[in-house]
Every structure is written in structure tokens, then in C-alpha cells.
A and B are shown apart, each in its own frame.
Chain A
């Protein structure tokens, strides 16, 4: 089960150094959290395809690479020409460069009073007591080596707290940018999103690359939704092809909470997105809605682990995949229905479009049902662009490339249609349109003219 001890040895040096300067190192519970997590990581090492949960994804390239933490991001100065304008419809934007919060690039001005958005480092420094009830309580570091690694290097990210009954229409934008070009670097963004009872808000997490270097982004987001809260969470991965992106969204839902998780995997070389909701209170609803678009040699792994721990909850998993070139997509949908979770209603659907002979999809439903009065269905389809539909469009004057693009957009719009109408959905639509343009043309996403720096404009 473990990988070679050498790769872990490198981390020991980095961790030892990190601990000396880590925020909140004087706080006992936080110190223990990191230490326990690191010990666990050393025990297990990185997962291998022998682990059932990682059967289709080989992370040996991550295990072999010597990643370094970025200290003072020198790049922060080089990107001072970043547009300070935020995405239309966002109420706040926190920008993290190589894992560290940059206040000069961030804005929280338009937030109403009952909504607090700050960097995790700030929260650890000023509100540690408040964090103790949530931070590290949900994500399972015993089961998940990447989550353990993230927890060991817990440093910065976003702390979002929406107070009871507060409703925010505009979305909260968390933007993670990697800028390094030389040596391989890593960051472990840690987000804590707490939505109190009856609150309503939307958070968008986005990962982009400005630099060209090999980079590992290993993020963990713990999301606690209180009773009757309504939450939408977006995870948008848009990095370059030498990026490794592992993300874990661990959701804890109280009674009658309604959480929608939307994930768009549009970039990255090797991407693994874990979504793990626990329906802990009666009557909760969870929607996990995803789109992954692969080209070249991209590997996009979507791992879902839905736990029905309470009666009368419903969950839906809808994933659409478009795979071209020699890309490899994975959909692993686990549903666990605990013994007392009667009247569970769970549904899972994975639809895939393969655009080339070498594209590949592994789709695996996994239902573990321990209650006896439940409704669980699952289904998957794998197909190509419909020839009849393509000809129909061409027979009306639309050229083949444009027709392909229209059909890909139509397929992707199944995912868009499940997003609540609003600014976050509009933003997602723009990004998807942009991305599918290149897929339809069968042109790999063009690298920047200079070869090194990419401009902000190219990303936005």
C-alpha cells in the first residue's frame, strides 16, 4: 500500500522546517492536528492503484517529484499588473498566490454584515477558538493520504462564515493562482466554509496557472451546512497540463440542509476531485453535478463518496464527461446508505462522449446499502457525437467544426442547466464555451507566445 519511503523522507525535512513558522504553532490542538496528520501520511505514503479508491489513477509521478513549498512569493510583484477587477456578480474575491493570501489583490467590500470572509491564516491568528469546533473535524485523514498531507501543511486558504439567516446573492470567489516557473512547487490550500442555520450563499473555488512550472495543488475544503441552509459550491480546475490538482470537498449537512456541488474539470494534467458529503440530518438534499473535459493526455478522476447517515435524505450525482485525444476520465461514484437511513433516495448518472479512438472512460458505481427501505439507481452511457445530429446541422449550412462545437455545448449544457441561474452559472458558462471552442477545433489549448509567463487576460 505505501510508496517508496524516499518520497516521504523529503517531506519530513520540509515539514520540520514548516512547523517552525506555521501559523498557530503555539496552539496545542492545531499543532497536534498537523502532527497527527503528518504521522498518518508517513504511515501510508501516497496511494497506489492497489488501493480500491485509486484503482484507475496512478499518482507515482506525484510521489516521485520533489515539490517545494513556496516561501515568499517573489511572483507577487511580477503579477502586480493583474487586473484588480473581479468577475461580474461576485461579492468578494480572495486571491491566493502559490498558496498564500494576497490582500492587495483581494476585495471583500461588497459583503453584507452577517457574512465574514477572511484568510485562514488571519482566522488562526485572531479567531482560533471559533475554528476549533470545525477545522479538521470532518475530513478523514486516516482514509485519505492527500487529505492527511494537506492537514499536515495546513497554512492558508479561506475561512468563510455566513451567520444565521443571512442570504448572499452574489458569489464569494476564492481564486488560487500558481506562478512558479523553475522548480516543482506545491501548495495545500485549506478552506473552511461554515454556513449557519437557514443561511444561503454561493462559493466558487477556482484554480489557475500563471507560471509554467510543474505544480501540485492539494486542497481540502470542509463545508458545514447548518439546518435549512442552502449552499452552492463550485470547483473550477483550469490549470496547465503540467499541473497536478487534487482536491477534497468534505460536506457535512445538518437537518434539511440543501447543498449543490458543481465541479468543472477543464484543465490540469492529472486531476483528482473528491466530493464527500455526509447527510447527517434528516431531510437533507445533495446534488453533485460535474463536467470534465479531457484532451491530450489529461487524466481526470472524479471520486464521489456520498454517505446517507440519516433518514429521508436525497442525493443526486450527475456527471458529464467529454474525452478527446488520449485523455482518460474516471467516474467513481460510491453511495453508502447507513442502517438507519430509511427512505433514502439516491440517484447517480454518468454520461460520456468519446471523441477519439484513444480516449478512455472508467465508470464505476459502488452502492453499499445497509437500510432496507431505500431507492437507489445508477446508470452510465458512453457514446460519440451523433452522426445524424451532425449531418442535420450541416444540412442547414452549419460547417462541421461549428456543428461539433454546438453539439459539445449542448452536451455540456446538461451540466449548466443544473446550476441555479445567476452570476456563478454565467461565469461557468463563459469558461465552458471558451474551453469547448478549442476542443471542437481539435487544437490543443495554445501555450503562451513567450513560452513562460501567461498574462492574466489569457486566463480571465
Chain B
């Protein structure tokens, strides 16, 4: 059974159809990259999988571990093992970073019938992940993302992923706005999470991230449709030639497979 199966997914937001029939299969252990021009629907796909309710599924289905993902609320999807690293992580004043993360971990553990982790037991594991993402523990005593730079916010997303250990990680343009150092650290964190039990969907506009997080499959999303799929070389081709040629090919009816 595939970890994630998307079949003929159509999604509408604010009256406009953004995704126009997406088919995608992701197996555990695989890293897929979704690339595409601005407005192609990349973030929409990520948000729908994370179950943002304002995105309406008008047709098609999504199976996660064989279960109907679209029927799940965001917290259910998260407890089942879906994690999305936000493109624009919000600040949540008044809720401490550490407290928030431990609460999230315990919510997921409770769902799975596991014991909750208390504040003392949480720390050693937490500190290990902080080191991996080269984050200062002092940042964690602040409120969630409060006063964090763009790079710190993105690293905080990956930190959360490292602590919550999802089955499916969706990274929504995690590289946008990062300098090369931050990019390197984020990639280090993501790569440390690669495992045969885990799958990742890396949504990105720029090819550069994929030099650090080398995908198994690359898919090109243009105007709500996956027009072409391939290996890591496809990303290099896009870097070189842009997205225009794929749209031309699609119009001429050329095959979309690698």
C-alpha cells in the first residue's frame, strides 16, 4: 500500500479552481519534489494535504495509509502522521515554543495510545534536535516564532518536524527567503529525517534546494496540473530552461513521463 495516493484531485479556493486533476503516488522512503511557476497551485496542494478547511475539494480523493485524508480534520491528519512545514509560519504570542511543541507531541502520543512525556523527560530529546538545527535554546523560551528571523522560523518548522516524527512531511517552499547558511542547516535537518518509513514532498520554486535535498522524483506543476515527472535531472533542466517549454510541450500533446 502506498503511503500517499492522490487521485484526480480538484481543489477550488474562493470560487476559483486551482488544482485541476492531480494524480500522484508517494511511497514510504521516497522524496518527491513538486516544482512550478508562481500561481501553479503548489501551496494549495500542500495546504489541502494539511487539511486547511478553506480549500474545497470538489472532485477526486486522497488516501493516506489507505485512509480518506480529506475526511480528516487538521489535527487528525497530524495525529495520523502528516506534517506540513509552513511557507509563512505565524507568530503565536503568549504560547512558549517549548510548551507548544511538547503539547503537540503529547496530543499525537495520546492519539496513538502512548504515554505523555513530561517537561523533564522531554528536554534531552529536544536538546538533541536543537543541536541538529543549530538553534539556541534561549530562542525556545520565547513565544512561538516571536521575533524570529525568516531563517529562524524555517528552522523552527524543521525542528518541529524532527520532534514530531511524521510519516509524511510536506515542505512548503521551505527554502524561500533563506540565505545559503540557513539553507544548509535546514537541509541537514531534513536529510537527517530521511528514512525508509518516511516520505517527503518538497514543494519548491527554486532548484537550488534540491542540490542539498536530492529528490527521488521531480514533478512539474503548471496551472493546476502535473504536466511532467522525472528524476533529479528534470530539476536541472528546469533550472536551465525555465518552465515555458513544459507548457508548450503539454499544449502540443507531448508525453509527460520521464
Contact = CB atoms under 8 A, between A and B. Distances in A.
Interface of A: 386, 388-389, 391-400, 402-403, 406-407, 409-411, 413-414
Residue of A386, A388, A394, A411 ringed by the most chain B CB atoms within 10 A: A394
B86 A397 contact: no
Contact of B75 (A399, A409, A410): A399
Interface string B144-172: 10000000000000001000100000000
Q: Top 6 A-B pairs ranked by shortest CB distance?
A: A410-B94, A396-B104, A394-B74, A397-B78, A397-B107, A397-B108
Contact of A392 (B51, B83, B90, B108): B90
A391 B103 CA distance: 15
Given A391-B74, A392-B86, A406-B103, A397 B164 contact: yes
B90 A413 contact: no
29 contacts: A389-B92, A392-B144, A393-B100, A393-B104, A394-B73, A394-B74, A395-B74, A395-B77, A395-B83, A395-B86, A396-B100, A396-B101, A396-B107, A396-B160, A397-B78, A398-B75, A398-B104, A399-B73, A399-B75, A400-B73, A400-B75, A403-B75, A406-B103, A407-B92, A407-B94, A410-B92, A410-B93, A410-B94, A410-B143
Nearest to B106: A397
Given A386-B90, A391-B52, A397 B111 contact: yes
A88 to B, nearest CB: 21
B53 to A, nearest CB: 8
B79 interface: yes
B177 interface: no
B89 interface: yes
Residue of A399, A407, A411 ringed by the most chain B CB atoms within 10 A: A399
A397 B163 CA distance: 13
Contacts of B164: 396-397
A397 B95 contact: no
Nearest to A410: B94
Contacts of B78: 394-397
B201 interface: no
A391 B94 CA distance: 16
B45 to A, nearest CB: 15
Interface string B63-81: 0000000000111011100
B50 interface: yes
Interface of B: 50-52, 73-75, 77-79, 83-84, 86, 89-90, 92-95, 100-101, 103-105, 107-108, 111, 143-144, 160, 164
Nearest to A402: B107
Contacts of A395: 50-51, 74-75, 77-78, 83-84, 86
B107 A399 contact: yes
Residue of A397, A407, A411 ringed by the most chain B CB atoms within 10 A: A397
Contacts of A403: 75
Residue of B51, B75, B86 ringed by the most chain A CB atoms within 10 A: B75
Contact of A397 (B79, B89, B92, B143): B79
A389 B74 contact: no
Contact of B107 (A398, A409, A410, A413): A398
A396 B81 CA distance: 10
Nearest to A417: B94
A395 B161 CA distance: 11
A397 B75 contact: yes
Contacts of A400: 73, 75
A413 B108 contact: no
A185 B95 CA distance: 43
A394 B92 CA distance: 13
Contacts of A397: 75, 78-79, 104-105, 107-108, 111, 164
Contacts of B103: 398, 402, 406
Contacts of A391: 52, 74
A397 B160 CA distance: 12
B131 to A, nearest CB: 21
A407 B90 CA distance: 13
B92 A392 contact: yes
Contact of B92 (A393, A399, A414): A393
B116 to A, nearest CB: 12
B95 A388 contact: no
A409 B99 CA distance: 13
A394 B86 CA distance: 13
A390 to B, nearest CB: 9
A188 B160 CA distance: 55
A398 B107 CA distance: 6
A400 B78 CA distance: 12
B94 A388 contact: no
Nearest to A403: B75
Contacts of B84: 395
A151 B79 CA distance: 60
Contacts of B90: 386, 388-389, 392
A389 to B, nearest CB: 5
Given A386-B90, A396-B160, A406 B95 contact: yes
Nearest to A398: B107
A394 B94 contact: no
Given A392-B86, A397-B111, A403-B75, 20 more contacts: A386-B90, A392-B144, A393-B100, A394-B73, A394-B74, A395-B50, A395-B51, A395-B77, A395-B78, A396-B100, A396-B164, A397-B78, A397-B105, A398-B75, A399-B75, A400-B73, A402-B103, A402-B107, A407-B95, A410-B95
A413 B94 contact: yes
Contacts of B74: 391, 394-395
A240 B90 CA distance: 38
A284 B50 CA distance: 53
A409 B94 CA distance: 8
A391 B48 CA distance: 12
A392 B52 CA distance: 10
B63 to A, nearest CB: 19
